[in-house]
Amino acid sequence: MTMYVITHKAFDYPLPTGYTPILVGADKNANPNHYQPDNEGENISDKNPSYCELTGLYWLWKNANDEYIGLSHYRRYFSKYPTRGRMYLATIIKGKVAPVSLKKLDEIMQTTEWILSEPEQGGEGNVKQQFENFHNANDLAITRQVISEFSPKVLSAFDQVMQQSQISFYNMFYTSKSEMDAYCEWLFKILFEVEKRTDITNYDQYQQRLYGFLSERLLNVWIKYRQVSVTYLAEYQTDELDRSYAIDRFKQKLKS
């Protein structure tokens, strides 16, 4: 059982037992701490500028052998709390929170098939409108077309997710390796075809991360399609969450 921590650089945040950093974009990024690089074995490390953490996910799919496996980020982790409200309250009381332990994750997995981040709204409107407000609407239309051609049984789930207001972001999860493998088999089939049909050469550096952005939505589509059991945990960003931030956010939640 391993929670892999995606990073593109060295970092010193204290990690619980069973958390292992994986360096993405390892062809170009320095690796002074000798993290597991994403350019060993079968890999798509060279796609990192547009696939983001997915080059790490692809490496896990093709090379890892863990029975249970997860993905988080060097500055974003699951807490042990099921809601952000409870996480903020704990931060106010204790001053900080820590990444959820592997022991706790494995306890949760006794009664669920996936652990994802607590759903949230990524802007105004539904998921489709949110994407179109921040990215190229045509890229989402192309993705829907590819799903209709290559995976038509999933199209209804795609349309349903697009009409939701909230989803789980960040491509973070914890699940069995077999569940992850099935998801990756589908995800990369879709994304590689979308990549063939989209042109991002004139996009700025941020928008070139297209396939990472799309996959945040597609993980939710896959979960909807598979109708698997899911447990949500509140995630947090290490350089953002402190007592002052938690107080502000907790007040906002009380008002809402």
Spell out the alpha helix ranges (H) of 7-72: 48-51, 54-63
- Average pLDDT of the residues in 82-99: 95
pLDDT for 43: 98
pLDDT for 217: 99
Tally of domains within the chain: 1
62, 66, 58, 59: which is closest to 175 by C-alpha?
66
pLDDT for 250: 83
Q: In this structure, how many other beta carbons lie within 10 angstroms of the beta carbon of residue 56?
A: 31
The pTM (predicted TM-score) of the whole model is 0.96
Where in the sequence is the domain holding 152, given as residue range(s)?
Answer: 2-255
Distance linking the first and last C-alpha atoms of the chain: 38
118, 103, 104, 109: which is closest to 175 by C-alpha?
109
What is the spatial distance between Cα 183 and Cα 218, in angstroms, rounded to a whole number? 10
Q: Show Cβ contacts of residue 74 under 8 Å, excluding neighbours closer than 6 positions.
A: 5, 6, 7, 8, 9, 11, 13, 21
pLDDT in tens, 112-159: 999 999 999 999 999 999 999 999 999 999 999 999 999 999 999 999
Q: Which residue type, as a one-letter code, is found at position 191? A: L
Could you tell me whether strands 235-237 and 173-176 are parallel, antiparallel, or unpaired per DSSP bridges? Answer: unpaired
